Structure 1
Amino acid sequence: MDILKRVGLSLAAIVFAPAISAFPLTFSNTSNNGDTDVAGNFGVDVTEDGGDAKFEFFNVNKVDEASITAIYFGKKGEFDSLLSFSNLVQSFDTSEKSGVKFSEGAKPNEPGGGIKWDAAFASDADNPGYNKYGIDVGESLAFYFDYLGSAVFDDVESGFYSGDLVIALHVQSITGDDGYSDWFVTKQPPVTVPEPSTIALLGLGLIGLGISRKRKLA
């Protein structure tokens, strides 16, 4: 197989490779009520699962103890135009604690900590606090949302990349049972730049196609 054919097949593999319907979200602290910033504990994996948009929240002990006790999805107008709540899946008990038990609705019904947007959907722990029903270290919680109208997963992803869609967390028991609370909001994900090898391969493909065309015209 000559070089031009190899480049052509490689380009086809890149162009026609199936898109992966998934992206991660991380958080930043908006209230800074104490000396310990536990933003690094929290993450969300956004995926497409069974035709729904799935948001799975994790709490890993990268910094210190903390419990996610309320979750807010916004911004209201933008979120309401794309998604409608379907159901939530509580995590199993991973650490001999009380597990995770959340219900629709939250108190307060809008996020605090200087966050100015209104929530389209909110949920909080049935019994918040340290070692109770929040998302403690080692636990997780997944929310499923139906798409509205012609909305698709790419619209959800674009919304978070543009900042039109955001998620806020209320976190309590930071540093332990007698700890304090803080508010957190999702960061806009960085735009992914193609790897240098991919750019080089595309460049070679264009050069090869150009040479082939010149030969045919000669």
Structure 2
Amino acid sequence: MRRIASIALAAALACAAVALQSTRWSYTRAYGPFVRNGRIGQTVTEPRFTIRVDRVDGARTIDVPPTQYTKAQQITATGVFVVVLATIEARRSPVYAGQARLHTRYGDYFPTDKLGGGGGLSQPVVTPLSYVRFEPGLPRRGAYVFDVPPAAVAGARLYVSDHDAEDAPFGFYRDDPRRFAAEAHVDLGLDTAEAARLTSRPPSGYSVPEPS
């Protein structure tokens, strides 16, 4: 009888250990980010910044202006360029909103690196919002540009988190994970019909606006 009880107790403890292991929080769940949800046209307020997505455009090619060292060029999307036009403002202190990604049913896509420039340490010729240092009281409007497969556009959402100004001076630091980051999740309103509008006949020669 004691042997049966011991076996039953051991089995119960084993089941409890498995259940505890399965409920253990992941790193992401334990350390952030703190998420606030919104949708296109709505201002999402985080502790360190606000963001309002104003419009979403599609493009097949983007015009890149000339520089002192390069000629004007036209870059072509591997899939389709999704251009998210947004207005961002710092609330209390300077901030980068450098960790942006397009969350889709096929996974996350990060801002394209096709906009010119010399790599992670240099600013692109066409400046995306990822590289802008926002100041309190000075909202700025610009764009995030993603190159994604057309089939991934429907249902896509914009995820943007804050970045301390001193932590993100260069491009390759912008994707580092941050504990307890504030992250805005914005529904872009890309239902099946709107996604088809953006991807079926995207325009060529799109000019991405500089932050203003």
Place the TM-score, normalised by the shorter chain, in its bin: 0.3 to 0.5
Give me the TM-score of the superposition, normalised by structure 2. 0.35
Q: Which has the higher strand share?
A: 2
Give me the TM-score of the superposition, normalised by structure 1. 0.34
